Amino acid sequence: MADTLAPGEVLPLLRGRFGEPYRYAEVCPSTQRLFAAGDPEGAVAAAEEQTEGRGRLGRIWLAPPATSILASIVLVPQIAPERLPELSLVAGDAVARAIASETGAEPRVRFPNDVLIEGRKVAGILAEASDGRVVVGIGVNANQREDDLPVSAETAPTSLLLATGSRVDRARLLATLLVELERAYDAWLSERGESG
């Protein structure tokens, strides 16, 4: 099994409208920078490695190549701007559900943008709004070993490999994550009488 987020592995697994177009790079500064100006809602960018990945409050998010889910999704919610910060929690819930579905782990979302397993951070969300678009960046520690993880993190990190004892099929996890995010996003919009 190829352990890659390349289009040939991910596209056949997609089951919803999120993922078209699918932008991919082995290495890039940030997945957000892979998008084209006119990319529509549901466009996804993924990479094996980011050299300038960011978390909340400008914190750095780095991981060894081909060990994580590093992805961004374009959303264009027709909703009041003051509601946009809720998207971090919507995405966090979707990430937690995808992890639970694929691994059997029991992740929890910690406000405003972390996903934890047994109190250790396994994923982070960064939603940034500009010109009516929101780009949701998602980082999931998938197959890192203990010595791959940062030692100076504010919250002790873990990976799905460490938490479950099994390697994760990253392409499959990303596909499940996109389905869960689409469902959560649509439900969030419909609760407010909006449409996607």
Segments in the chain forming alpha helices (H) = 7-10, 86-103, 160-164, 170-191
Task: Give the amino acid at 196.
Answer: G
- pLDDT recorded at residue 31: 94
Query: Tens digit of pLDDT for each residue in 116-167?
Result: 999 999 999 999 998 889 999 999 999 999 999 887 778 899 999 999 999 9
Q: Are 110 and 104 in contact (CB under 8 A)?
A: no
Mean predicted lDDT score pLDDT of the chain: 91
Give me 17's structure tokens.
């409208």
Confidence of residue 185 (pLDDT cuts 50, 70, 90): very high
Segments in 17-141 forming alpha helices (H) = 86-103
Give me 181's structure tokens.
């995010």
Fold of domain 23-143+153-191: BirA Bifunctional Protein; domain 2 (3.30.930)
Read off the pLDDT of each residue in 93-101 and give the average, rounded to a whole number.
Answer: 98
Q: Which has the higher per-residue pLDDT, 183 or 79?
A: 183
Alpha-carbon distance 181 to 92, whole Å? 9
Residue matched to tokens 């070993």: 145
pLDDT at 196 over 50: no
pLDDT at 103 over 70: yes
pTM listed for this prediction: 0.93
- pLDDT recorded at residue 63: 77
All structural domains of the chain with their residue ranges? 23-143+153-191
Query: Tens digit of pLDDT for each residue in 56-82?
Result: 545 566 678 999 999 999 999 998 888
